[in-house]
Amino acid sequence: MDERHINKIEVRAQPRYLPERSDPGKSVYLFTYAITITNRGTLPCQLISRHWIITDSLGEEQEVRGPGVVGEQPKLAVGESFTYSSFCPLSTPSGSMRGSYQMQNAQGEAFDAAIPAFALTRQEYLN
């Protein structure tokens, strides 16, 4: 069996700036993001924990680690997806997030699923 396809997880992010919850005068910029995790592998698996690296526009990094996501440790059958939403405060109007999910497949093997970097940007900065 091709080991590269046993543990294949696709992660997609949709970030959005929340102007109504931000206060630029106090350097508080709040972003929300929806994450969809899809099991593209050949075995069921479970998300055990998360590791985020959050970087603001000044290059300051913050690491976040913890069990599961939004209080859950979802199990994903082959082809199944799990979507959740969360938020991230920044002290600058833009930044990025990247990281990994620590997973375990149905055979008990642990593996990391990469979370590709995505931008956190106020809409007017995109124009």
Count: domains in the chain: 1
Residue 124 pLDDT: 55
Q: What is the C-alpha to C-alpha distance for residues 105 and 80, in angstroms, rounded to an integer?
A: 14
List CB contacts of 21: < 8 A, sequence separation 6 or more.
30
Residue 127 pLDDT: 44
Residue numbers of the domain that contains 114: 3-126
Query: Residue 26 is part of a domain; what is its CATH number?
Result: 2.60.40.1470
Q: Quick one: which H or E segment has residue 1?
A: none
Query: Is the full-model pTM beyond 0.85?
Result: yes
Q: Kindly report, residue by residue over 33-56, the tens digit of the pLDDT.
A: 999 999 999 999 999 999 999 999
Residue 5 pLDDT: 73
- Beta carbons within 10 angstroms of residue 121's beta carbon: 19
